[in-house]
Amino acid sequence: MKTTKLYFYFSLSAILCLLVLAIAPIKSTFREWKKYQKQYYQSEANSIEFPEVKKRILNTPLEIKQIVLKELNRVDRCMTCHISIEDPRYSENEHPLKSHPGDILSQHSVEKFGCTICHEGQGQATSVHAAHGETEWWNRPLLPGDYVFGTCGQCHTDAQIPNLLFGQGNQLFKDLGCIGCHTIGGEGGNIGPELVGVGSRRNAQWLFDHFEDPEKMSPGSIMPKYTFSDDEIRSLVLLMYGFNDGDIPYEYRAQKEIAQLKEQLSPVDKIKAGKAIFEKFGCAGCHGRAGSGEIRNPNAPGNMVPAIIYVKEAYTEDELKEYLLKGAVSQKDDPNLPSPPIFMPSWVGKLSVMELENLIEYLFSLYPGDEVIW
């Protein structure tokens, strides 16, 4: 009896193994990418008149195509489906049998850059769902629409990026002094979270909703609720995707660094240089655009950070220099409540003598000339 049962279970296991072995090649036969490659080769064959050539094209082996990008530490197989990506004859086709728009590939060859460095997604996957990163555990989904231009910021300056919204987002980031609260690669303020890699942690819709209403998406956030237009929000979302946490080799980002260096070395007047310092350290993050104030600071007098456009009336150049170097703690409006989160830090060791002078020159230039009582 025991022997009979043993034979039964052994036979059942063998049948199950055979079924698995039979299903595997059947499943492989119906892979999505094979359908697209067949369509591509059929299209190519239809454009040929000679029977022998047509036959050779139709007999082309269907295979996974990949590019190993050692410098970028990634492998991309996107062209397994997007097999006509470099063929301009397919510019009017539907995806995935559509050529890449524009002339971007003339300067960004697939062989050197691949696809996911710009478009995100899961490069090694071979099914549409997985390759587009539409899985719960993959934190870099394919970027929708024009958001793909955000990743250009990894290697290019604003002027080198064809999408104007990216430059607008970068300027908005400077005008609002976001670096005063957030860090980028460890540099900046420590009130808000690190922004490098934020595009990996959050999708485009979440980022859009957050810029629209920070506290709604992050309860307890003290980030101001700005009255952004939809285009301004999209420009900031684009910028977030430029803060990539990947290690981009120097040869890929050389153009950006050389352009930035030239900009730093160009001669500028003291006010313009001071404004650059104001933007570099994100002073507007606490003091508002161009020092206009209106930034919330719980339990500070008036629950706001004061405007600094009238600082020229309150301080001499030497007094302001001393104040900036020493820093100051914000006074409590209610002594029984926690200290205000925003305060003036000491700038000793952070600014050179010339940078400090240029910054003060810029702050004094903000004075509108109106009489006010401090």
pLDDT confidence band for 341 (50 / 70 / 90): confident
Q: What is the CATH number of domain 267-365?
A: 1.10.760.10
Over the stretch 285-316, which tens digit does the pLDDT of each residue have? 888 888 888 788 888 888 888 888 888 988 99
- At residue 303, the pLDDT reads 86
Over the stretch 140-198, which tens digit does the pLDDT of each residue have? 888 888 888 888 888 887 767 777 777 888 889 988 888 888 888 888 888 888 998 88
How big is the chain, counted in residues? 374
- At residue 77, the pLDDT reads 95
Q: How far apart are CA 275 and CA 190, in angstroms?
A: 22
Residue % of the chain over a pLDDT of 70: 85
- At residue 268, the pLDDT reads 56
The reply to whether 146-242 and 267-365 are identical in fold is yes
Q: Which CATH superfamily is domain 146-242 in?
A: Cytochrome c-like domain (1.10.760.10)
- At residue 24, the pLDDT reads 45
- For residue 328, give the DSSP letter: B
Over the stretch 194-249, which tens digit does the pLDDT of each residue have? 998 888 788 888 999 999 999 999 998 888 889 999 999 999 998 888 887 666 77
- At residue 232, the pLDDT reads 93
pLDDT confidence band for 16 (50 / 70 / 90): low
- Quick count: other Cβ atoms within 10 Å of Cβ 158? 19
Mark out the alpha helices in 30-50 (DSSP H runs): 32-46
Q: How far apart are CA 161 and CA 259, in angstroms?
A: 13
- At residue 57, the pLDDT reads 92
Mean pLDDT of the chain, nearest integer = 83
pLDDT confidence band for 14 (50 / 70 / 90): low
Helix (H, G, I), strand (E, B) or coil at 68: strand
Predicted TM-score (pTM) of the model is: 0.67
Domain boundaries, the chain: 32-131, 146-242, 267-365
For 49, the token pair is 């008149």
- Quick count: other Cβ atoms within 10 Å of Cβ 5? 9
Q: Which of 288, 287, 305 is nearest to 296 (CA)?
A: 305
Over the stretch 122-145, which tens digit does the pLDDT of each residue have? 999 999 999 998 887 887 888 888
